[in-house]
Amino acid sequence: KNTNKLKNKLFGIECNFEELNGIDFKKGCYIGQENTARIKLKNKLSKRLLPIKLVDGKLSEDEKIYNNEVEIGKVLINEDYPFALIKFLDKNFDRKQIFKGKNGSFKIFIPEWLKIWLLLQSGNEKKFKISYFRKCKYDVEAQWTDTS
């Protein structure tokens, strides 16, 4: 609905398109291809578009997000389905924290499919298989449910 607010602000790789099989690194000739390939090949992806879960109050578009007085992101979409561009690898980012803005507080929400992908990409496949599957149960509707 508010995706026009993202136009010309992000690369597809920052929008998690790679994990959704929306980027083909073997095919050429698309807008942002060279930058996207460079980010991927040099392992320079440091920001991701992530949903925000409003705890209370209101969010402002382009509001900067701080933790320990260090900027770790910015709100890009503030209404209906809010999203922020987050420096998810920054040592000051804590996904469990409640962040306070000018007029409200919110949490950064990392979808399950992205958590799994990030863990697998970090080289912790063994840790993933042991710890994550012990904490989760597979329900009949083919969805993972966190039991921790």
51 DSSP β-pair partners: 83
9 near 83, Cβ under 8 Å?
Answer: no
Asked whether the predicted pLDDT for residue 94 surpasses 50, the reply is yes
Tell me the two tokens of residue 51.
């949903």
* pTM for this predicted structure: 0.73
- Taking alpha carbons only, the member of 146, 119, 117 closest to residue 133 is 146
Q: Read off the pLDDT of each residue in 17-39 and give the average, rounded to a whole number.
A: 84
65-85 burial code (b ≥16 CB/10 A, e <16):
bebeeeebbbbbbbeeebbbb
DSSP 128: I
Q: Read off the pLDDT of each residue in 116-133 and give the average, rounded to a whole number.
A: 51
Asked whether the predicted pLDDT for residue 75 surpasses 90, the reply is yes
Q: Is the dihedral of CA 95, 93, 106, 48 positive or negative?
A: negative
SS3 state at 73: strand
pLDDT (tens digit, 9 = 90+) per residue, 34-73? 888 899 888 888 899 999 999 999 989 999 998 888 888 9
pLDDT for the residue 119: 62
Beta strands in 20-90 (DSSP E): 48-57, 64-67, 70-77, 83-86
SS3 state at 106: strand
